[in-house]
């Protein structure tokens, strides 16, 4: 899955809009213990694949990129814009969610990637 994660990170880090919103605060899975907001996390939330004759030819992981804090509407737009640059990436949905533990609004953006095995 490293290829998929790296593609996500490269797309996010290459976006001037993302840099303006979060700088370099992009983390795998969870924010740090004492986070500085706003920030972005990314993770694989489901796996999938296409096979023929018992062989796996493509992986289709479902990825979540979550913006934490700040202007979540601007973050949602910037994440979608950055990930639209990825070849073989399909937007699924976005949802704004209140995190009761951190007392902060977040936006979760979900994508499906198509990766050759």
pLDDT tens-digit profile of 34-80? Answer: 999 999 999 988 877 665 666 666 677 889 999 999 999 999 999 99
Q: For residue 1, is pLDDT > 60?
A: no
- Half-sphere exposure (Cβ direction) of 108: Cα atoms closer than 13 Å: 14
Cis link prior to 38 (omega < 30° from 0)? yes
Q: Which fold has domain 2-116?
A: Alpha-Beta Plaits (3.30.70)
pLDDT tens-digit profile of 78-94? Answer: 999 999 988 888 899 99
Looking at per-residue pLDDT, the higher value among 49 and 99 belongs to 99
Task: Please give the pLDDT value at position 52.
Answer: 60
The residue extents of the domains of the chain are 2-116
């Amino acid at each position: 899955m490293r290829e998929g994660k790296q593609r996500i990170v490269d797309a996010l880090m290459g976006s001037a809009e993302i840099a303006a919103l979060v700088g370099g605060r992009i983390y795998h899975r969870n924010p740090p213990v004492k986070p500085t907001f706003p920030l972005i996390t990314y993770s694989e939330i489901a796996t999938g694949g296409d096979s023929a004759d018992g062989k796996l030819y493509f992986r289709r992981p479902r990825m979540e990129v979550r913006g934490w804090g700040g202007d979540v509407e601007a973050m949602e737009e910037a994440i979608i814009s950055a990930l639209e640059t990825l070849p073989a990436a399909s937007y699924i949905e976005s949802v704004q969610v209140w995190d009761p533990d951190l007392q902060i609004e977040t936006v979760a953006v979900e994508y499906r990637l198509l990766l050759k095995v």
